[in-house]
Amino acid sequence: MDMTKTDLADLKRAKKLLENPGLAAKMSAALGAPIEKSVALLPKAVQSGIHKASEAAMMKALDVAVKSLGDDTKKPAQSRLHKIAAATSGAVGGAFGLMALTVELPVSTTIMLRSIADIAKSEGENIHYIDTKLACLTVFALGSGKSEKDNAAESGYFAARAAMSGAVSEASKFLAEKGLSKTGAPALIRLVSLISSRFGIVVTEKAAAQAVPIIGAAAGALVNTIFIGHFQDMARGHFIVRRLEKIYGAEPVRLAYRNL
C-alpha cells in the first residue's frame, strides 16, 4: 500500500522530531553555554549518582505506568500544563543544585510520563493497554541519540527500538500474566536497566546545564521546560510512527523513514 501524502508528511515530521537536534544542543542554544563541555567536567561520583537517580526514576515511572496511567483517559492533552509543572519542579532543583536531583527527578519524570501518555492518546493509542504503557515508558530511551551498541545501519530512533524490543516483549508478557506484583522480576529489571542507561545520558546533560553558574532557580525552570519539551517531541514522533505502522506495517514505514 502506497503511503498517502498526508501520512508521508506526518512521517517526515516524526523523523525531524526524533532525529534532530539532541537535548545538549537545545540547552546550549537556550543557555548560551556549551553543555557538552560541562558534562565532561562533572565529577565521576556525580555522574554515577545521576545514573542511580535515573534508574530510581525509571522504577517509579514503571510503577506509575502500570498502576495509574489510563485513569484520566477522557481528559484532553495538557502539554502546556505539564511544561509548567515541570518548570516548577526544575526551579526547585535549580535553587538547590545537583543535590536536589534525586528528589526532583522522579517528580519531573512522572510529569513527563503523564504528558507522553496524553500524546499517545492523541495519536489514537489506548493507554489502558500494557503495550501502550510500555511504549510510553520507552520514550525515555529515545532522547539520547545513538548508542555504541546500536546497529550502525539504522537511525538512532529505530536502533533504540530494536535494542529494547526483546526486553519490552519479555516485560509485556510478564505484566500481562502477573501485573506489578513483583517489581524485582528479572524481566522488569532488564527493561528498566536498558531504558535508564539511555535516559541517564540525557539526565547528565540536564544536570550539567543546571550546574552552569547563571540564574539559579530561573535556570532550573528553563532547563526543565526544555527537558520535557524534548521528550514531548520524542513522544509525538514515536506515536506518529506507531500509528502509521498499524496502517502500513512496520517494515514499509521503517523503509519510508530511512528514505526520507
The whole-chain average pLDDT of the chain stands at 81
Cα separation, 105 vs 111, in Å, equals 10
Residue 260 is given by DSSP the state -
Nearest-angstrom CA–CA distance, 37 and 15: 27
Residue tagged 537536534 (cell numbers) = 21
CB under 8 Å to 243, separation ≥6 — which residues?
A: 10, 123, 124, 125
Residue 35 C-alpha cell reads as 553543555
Residue 97 pLDDT: 52
The answer to whether the CB of 221 falls within 8 A of the CB of 87 is: yes
CA pair distance 189, 167, nearest whole angstrom = 9
**Grid cell of 114 as nine digits:** 503523564
Q: Per-residue confidence of the chain (260 residues) as pLDDT tens digits?
A: 689 999 999 999 999 999 887 888 887 887 776 777 778 778 888 888 888 889 999 998 888 888 877 765 445 445 555 455 544 554 444 444 555 677 778 888 888 888 899 899 999 999 989 999 999 999 999 987 766 666 555 678 999 999 999 999 999 999 888 876 665 688 989 999 999 999 998 888 887 777 765 545 556 677 778 888 889 899 999 999 999 999 999 999 999 999 99
Q: Note the pLDDT of residue 215.
A: 46
DSSP conformational letter for 99 = G
In the structure grid, which three cell numbers stand for residue 87, read together? 518548570
pLDDT at res. 86: 46
What's the 3-state SS for 29-57? HHHCCCHHHHHHHCCHHHHHHHHHHHHHH
Q: What is the pLDDT of residue 137?
A: 93
Contact 29, 221 (CB under 8 A): no
Query: Which pLDDT score is estimated for 239?
Result: 97
216 Rama class: left (phi>0) / alpha (psi -120 to 50) / beta: left
Burial of 180 from C-beta contacts in 10 A (0-12 / 13-18 / 19+): middle
Q: In the chain, what are the domain boundaries? A: 5-143+151-259
pLDDT digits (tens, 9 = 90+) for 8-38: 999 999 999 998 878 888 878 877 767 777 7
3-class DSSP state for residue 123?
A: coil
